Homo-oligomer: A and B are copies of this chain.
Amino acid sequence: MPHHSKRATLSVLPLWLVHYRRENLSSDIVAGAILAILVIPQSLAYALLAGLPPQVGLYASILPVIAYIWLGSSSLQALGPVAITSIMTYAVLSPLMAPGSPQYITMAAGLCLLSGLMTMAFGFLRLGFLSQLLSRPVVSGFISGSAVLIIISQLKFLLGVQATGSNSWQSLLSLLEHVQQTNPVTLTLGISALLWLMLSRYGLVPLASRLGWNTKRAEVWVRVMPLVVLATASVAMVALELDTRHQVAVVGAIKEGLGGIHFFLPGLDDLRTLFAPALIMAFIGTVQNITMGQALAAKYRERLEPNRELVGLGAANVVAAFYSGMPVGGGLSRTAINLAAGARTPMASLSAAISMLLIVLAGTHWFARLPLAVLAASIVVAAISMIDLKAFVQAWNYDRADALALLGAAAGVLLLGLELGIATGILLSLVTLLVRASTPHIAVIGRIVGTEHFRNVERHGVETIPGALFLRIDESLFFGNLNAVEARLSAELMKDARICDLVLIMSAVNRVDTTAMEALTDVNRDLSARGIRLHLAEVKGPVQDRLLHSPLWKALSGKVHMSVNSAFETLAAERRVDTGLYVI
């Protein structure tokens, strides 16, 4: 894919179109058509998850996608309804009004519009780096927690029961209260679909490889299975008249063609309600989009422009707002299907959008009798795959603090909801950062006899100079770890009252911020008053550039040495002169 200019310019035609190569056309068109067909089940399902009429999931795969490929920068990310923003819409709005009602739809559109505008603003203000506020374990915990919330929200469709509640746990309680009203036919449909999809997803390919079948063909079947399940269910519904005779809930009649463009302006009160959720949704969308975009860019040797991506994503959501407010984002499974189907450029997404348009125009009457229980089953299967236990185990083995942050993020979502869950996640990421930085590794070091190499006195047998303390700080110096450094300094100086030279080895100190510079200046002055000289050794280039003009440099009681060894030699030589003896 050709080089995009670095500036977030909005050229009239996107560069990928201007530089389009004819040989990619057939691949892209076919990939797009395949994508459109295969994502019908998830598009309907995610609309259901968001509490919106299922057909808006299809609409959201048309014009928003065109806005994205026009303004965004990734060539292979496939945009559409995604799980987390859908459950978020539901979680924000369902306590306030009945899902599916006109007011609900209007508010969902308002939420989508606001969050789209905010995402575009993030892009224009080059705030893409904010996606780095979360560590991977925290993102994983957040997604796993959200997956549990998603599963809880779908239970009522699987059971065919009415349940209400202003948060997940209240609706779970309400569900348990009404559990006797479970419709056995609905439940059978739902559980069957669930088992079928689970077996397909987790068992088909291993089975194929064990039986010696073509695994690639098996993989194709796994992707097509949701469509097969839906089609089978519809047939069963019609043949057995399950909706009329057994009150199995269905999608219901869908207006033919494209829903009209809704004009609305959220009122001031609505804005106040929607502001924080829209901001969180914009942030979540940012994190998801940039994370996936980078993974793709690395794999496919592309250059990703994060801030341009955000403009595209935001524009897509603004457009989506006018088609009944289904928020969109970069979908993991959607993109995987896109790639597997052979997409090469964004033309595939254009082809998918046009294909979906044709599908919608052709006729959506066949969706009318789709059982909601089966859609819910496909959502539950997708959610189960979002729960990542492996990430927890890996974090536990590598860095326990990260594993605890993961648990904390998941717990935050489960107990406090999505918005506070994200805030908890950000807080945990930053707190682990600070806690680690507060405990820098500091080593007293000496010279390995007969060499010019220096090591921790605890690790190896080394020689030291009496009265001189060599301290290496393995961390950048900033306000967060100064206390630890000063405490260690004091502790070491208290151990040995004869110390009159303190050498700070700065080879691993990548930065010294203002607080650290001032603190070192104070340390220098206090040590001076006690007759101890402070020296610096192996100060890095960028650090020295700054320190040169600082008060510390001028006031330093000792010298600045180019290497640890020259500091060692200098101080040893001084003592030889002082004592008149050879100290080796």
Chain A positions within 8 Å of B, measured between CB atoms, are 129, 131-137, 290, 294-295, 297-299, 301, 303, 306, 394-395, 397-399, 402-403, 429-430, 432-436, 438, 440-441, 456, 459, 474-476, 478-483, 486, 490-491, 493-494, 507-508, 510-511, 513-515, 517-519, 522-523, 526, 529-530, 540-542, 546, 549-551
Contacts and interface: CB of A to CB of B under 8 A. Distances in A.
A515 B137 contact: yes
B526 A486 contact: no
Contact of A478 (B135, B523, B530): B135
A559 B248 CA distance: 61
24 contacts: A131-B483, A132-B434, A132-B480, A132-B483, A133-B480, A134-B479, A135-B515, A136-B479, A137-B514, A137-B515, A297-B490, A298-B522, A298-B523, A301-B490, A395-B514, A397-B550, A398-B517, A398-B549, A402-B513, A436-B513, A459-B541, A475-B476, A507-B508, A508-B508
A161 to B, nearest CB: 38
Q: Which of A131, A399, A436, A456 has the most CB of B within 10 A?
A: A399
A137 B515 CA distance: 7
Contact of A510 (B299, B493, B508, B549): B508
Which 4 pairs from chain A and chain B are nearest by CB? Answer: A135-B479, A402-B514, A136-B515, A135-B515
A183 B137 CA distance: 65
A549 B399 CA distance: 11
A474 B402 contact: no
Nearest to A511: B436
Contacts of A510: 440-441, 474-476, 508, 510
A431 B514 CA distance: 15
Given A397-B550, A476-B510, A507-B508, 13 more contacts: A132-B480, A295-B522, A298-B486, A298-B526, A299-B526, A394-B518, A394-B551, A398-B514, A399-B513, A402-B513, A430-B430, A436-B513, A475-B476
The winner among A298, A299, A459, A508 for most chain B CB atoms within 10 A is: A298
A297 B295 CA distance: 50
Oligomer: number of copies: 2
A481 B133 CA distance: 10
A474 B540 contact: yes
Q: Which of A481, A486, A513, A518 has the most CB of B within 10 A?
A: A513
Q: Which of A402, A440, A493 has the most CB of B within 10 A?
A: A402
Given A434-B132, A438-B132, A514 B399 contact: yes
Contact of A479 (B429, B438, B517): B429
Contact of A490 (B303, B402, B441): B303
A225 to B, nearest CB: 28
Contacts of A298: 486, 490, 522-523, 526
Contacts of A299: 526, 529
Contacts of A434: 132-133, 430
Contacts of A136: 479, 514-515, 518-519
Contacts of A540: 474, 508
A294 B486 contact: yes
Count chain B CB atoms within 10 A of each CB in A403, A493, A510 and give the residue with the most.
Answer: A510
A195 B133 CA distance: 51
User: Which of A403, A441, A515 has the most chain B CB atoms closer than 10 A to its own CB?
Assistant: A515
Contacts of A430: 430, 434
A301 B530 contact: yes
A123 to B, nearest CB: 15
Contacts of A526: 298-299
Contacts of A476: 475-476, 510
Contacts of A133: 434, 480
A526 B136 CA distance: 18
A294 B483 contact: yes
A550 B398 contact: yes
A443 to B, nearest CB: 9
A74 B459 CA distance: 35
A43 B398 CA distance: 54
A362 B107 CA distance: 71
Contacts of A295: 522
Nearest to A438: B129
Given A137-B515, A510-B441, A541-B459, A478 B129 contact: no
Nearest to A402: B514
